[in-house]
Amino acid sequence: MTAPAFTLTVEQLKALIREAVRQELAGASEQQQSDVLLREEAAAILKIHPKTLTKYAEQKKIRASKIGRDWRFRRADVMAFLQNGKAA
């Protein structure tokens, strides 16, 4: 059995995935993207449960605005969190 041509660390793999997601979202039509996301939309981008995202917002790990009982997230803040793992 031959050895793989190259190896990646977990952090390198995460960086590759983040970059691929960033490029995919950057290529989407401007008209299709809203600057403000619902909790469920932001959670889907981050691939986490909406309740987890609410917890992060309450802990100020990600920037968010609460309007009544609903949370709203700026797309730029969600993308920054995706890239850095912390609030911008």
Supply angle C-alpha 9, 24, 17, rounded to 5.
10
Domain architecture of the chain: domains with CATH: 35-88 (1.10.1660)
Q: What is the distance between the alpha carbons of residues 3 and 68, in angstroms, rounded to a whole number? A: 56
Per-residue pLDDT of the chain (88 residues), as tens digits, is 676 677 889 999 888 888 888 887 776 655 455 799 999 999 999 999 999 999 999 999 999 999 999 999 999 999 999 998 765 5
What pLDDT is recorded for position 20?
86
Q: Is 68 left (phi over 0), alpha (psi -120 to 50) or beta?
A: left
pTM metric for this prediction: 0.60
Rounded alpha-carbon distances, angstroms, from residue 28 to 24, 54, 55, 66, 74:
7, 26, 29, 27, 16
